[in-house]
């Protein structure tokens, strides 16, 4: 078979490092965390820690597979090898759908901020401008995507680092006119668990989705010159990123301010900045949130397009969508993602509480589906690799016990979604969508089970190795 053009490997280590960080720090941290604090009080720290442990384990499992075989399709390609072609097809399309929906959400959020600053320009125009600008960025080159994401992430990281420094200074009484709070706010408003342990469990379901996006680094690693090193750094840094950025900043919020203060529920970061006496706290946070929105738009478009590209290469999407430009970009995959993204933006303006809300709810549990597939794939592929005597660059801790513990935890989170009014509809609609996609995948590959461990398309030698082109040939040749 004639060789196909490949994606350019022009992402640098600094790009990959910031992409990994940007995947964890989203607008939800700055805005959505207020609702979680209102629900669980200071116990939100336990919720973030518990959710963080699940994400750290999932990233370790994904890192093990990605370091052994860096592929643009990431966990979708690994599901192909471990569970069967239907599984890679299903989780790949569900993941692409998730990020396309995110485009509609984030473009609208960014447009709302721009409209507040410049009310003379209609909000839909701002949404159009933001979508077009970041589409051009992604179409131009993967390096331009990486460069934009590097600076977007730099703004977010700088904002959180300054917030942490100022917060610690306030906690230790180093800011003039601002007495040290001690444990008054942590324990003086109903204790550490003012709403009980059940509120913390419910809080886990709220915050766990904030961590989704860390896996983007393993998708982008396929376009770096040294993907194995990039994956290793991204996985190893997941622990401190979650500890510092999430748990650290939340600890500062609930230590400096009463958790039941109305300003905390509305915007915890703005409330803390105002306590420092810094003027224009709302505008400062708007800038940070807008940066997060742009970062999410940029990454969402990149991630959706690369998953669609990978699906196309494996024969699970129109073959023309995998064509690569002279700049090494799958332009058609980017444009397909953009077009559907524009449709979701339009639906958000026309029918925000009906059609668009329905579509958003269909993507609500996809993060947990992805993590479950990652854990199941790693369980199978690791056993094959061990049987073949493969030396792995990254190894899952305490295998298979922590892998099974992760699976149990993810299933428990899915079951827990049934008992919360805010998440029940999301779970039901997400399961319904997944059932339809899986049915299509099974129908496509009903004559095929999981690829046997010795099959050429799975692992020539050793362990996990297989290319996307091999997988495509296997799909078309059977």
Give tens-digit pLDDT for 7-16: 777 777 777 7
Give tens-digit pLDDT for 97-110: 999 888 888 888 88
- Residue 180 tokens read as 């040290």
> pTM for this structure?
0.88
Which candidate, 19, 5, 462, 12, places its Cα nearest to that of 241? 19
Residue 383 pLDDT > 90: yes
Which candidate, 265, 271, 365, 275, places its Cα nearest to that of 40? 265
Number of Cβ within a 10 Å radius of residue 350:
11
Give tens-digit pLDDT for 251-263: 999 999 999 888 8
What is the four-CA torsion angle of 416, 422, 426, 431, rounded to 10 degrees? 30
Cβ within 8 Å of residue 257, ≥6 positions away: 185, 263, 264, 268, 271, 272, 275
Binning pLDDT at 50, 70 and 90, where does residue 60 land?
very high
Residue 115 pLDDT > 80: yes
Q: How many residues does the chain have?
A: 478
Task: Give mean pLDDT, residues 39-54.
Answer: 90
The Cα 204–Cα 221 span in angstroms is 29
Domains defined along the chain, listed by start: 13-446 (1.20.1740.10)
- Residue 216 tokens read as 């983007």
Q: Are 95 and 372 in contact (CB under 8 A)?
A: no
Which candidate, 225, 457, 222, 228, places its Cα nearest to that of 330? 222
Confidence at residue 324, expressed as pLDDT on a 0 to 100 scale = 87
Cα-flanking dihedrals φ and ψ of residue 224, to 5°?
-115, 155
Q: Are 310 and 77 in contact (CB under 8 A)?
A: yes
3 state DSSP class of 224: strand
Q: Are 457 and 473 in contact (CB under 8 A)?
A: yes
Binning pLDDT at 50, 70 and 90, where does residue 466 land?
very low
Residue 469 pLDDT > 50: no
């Amino acid at each position: 078979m004639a060789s196909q053009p490949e994606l350019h490997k022009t992402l640098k280590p600094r790009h990959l490092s910031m992409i990994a960080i940007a995947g964890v720090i989203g607008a939800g941290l700055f805005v959505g965390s207020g609702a979680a604090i209102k629900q669980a009080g200071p116990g939100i720290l336990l919720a973030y820690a518990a959710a963080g442990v699940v994400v750290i384990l999932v990233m370790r499992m994904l890192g093990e597979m990605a370091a052994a075989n860096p592929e643009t399709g990431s966990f979708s390609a690994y599901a192909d090898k471990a569970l069967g072609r239907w599984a890679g097809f299903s989780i790949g399309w569900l993941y692409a759908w998730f990020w396309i929906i995110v485009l509609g959400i984030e473009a609208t959020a960014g447009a709302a901020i721009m409209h507040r600053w410049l009310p003379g320009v209609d909000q839909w125009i701002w949404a159009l401008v933001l979508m077009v600008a970041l589409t051009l960025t992604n179409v131009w080159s993967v390096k331009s995507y990486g460069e934009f994401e590097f600076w977007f992430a730099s703004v977010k990281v700088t904002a959180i680092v300054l917030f942490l420094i100022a917060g610690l200074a306030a906690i230790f009484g180093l800011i003039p006119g601002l007495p040290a709070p001690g444990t008054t706010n942590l324990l003086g408003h109903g204790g550490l668990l003012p709403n009980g342990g059940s509120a913390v469990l419910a809080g886990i379901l709220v915050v766990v989705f904030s961590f989704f996006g860390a896996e983007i680094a393993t998708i982008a690693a396929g376009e770096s010159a040294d993907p194995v090193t990039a994956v290793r750094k991204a996985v190893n840094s997941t622990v401190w990123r979650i500890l510092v950025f999430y748990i650290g900043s939340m600890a500062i919020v609930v230590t400096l301010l009463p958790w039941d203060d109305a300003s905390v529920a509305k915007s915890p970061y703005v409330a803390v900045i105002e306590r420092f006496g810094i003027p224009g706290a709302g505008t400062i946070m708007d800038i940070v949130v807008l940066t997060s929105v742009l970062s999410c738009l940029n990454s969402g478009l990149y991630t959706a397009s690369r998953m669609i590209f990978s699906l196309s290469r494996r024969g699970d999407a129109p073959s023309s969508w995998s064509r690569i430009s002279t700049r090494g970009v799958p332009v058609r995959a980017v444009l397909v993602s953009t077009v559907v993204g524009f449709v979701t933006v339009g639906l958000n303006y026309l029918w925000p509480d009906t059609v668009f809300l329905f579509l958003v709810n269909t993507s609500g549990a996809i993060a947990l589906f992805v993590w479950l597939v990652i854990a199941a794939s790693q369980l199978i592929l690791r056993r094959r690799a061990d049987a073949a005597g493969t030396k792995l660059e990254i190894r899952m801790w305490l295998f298979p016990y922590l892998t099974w513990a992760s699976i149990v935890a993810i299933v428990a989170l899915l079951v827990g979604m049934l008992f919360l009014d805010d998440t029940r509809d999301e779970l039901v609609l997400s399961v319904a969508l997944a059932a339809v996609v899986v049915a299509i995948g099974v129908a496509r590959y009903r004559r095929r089970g999981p690829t046997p461990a010795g099959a050429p398309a799975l692992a020539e030698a050793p362990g996990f190795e297989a290319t996307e082109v091999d997988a495509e040939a296997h799909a078309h040749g059977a």
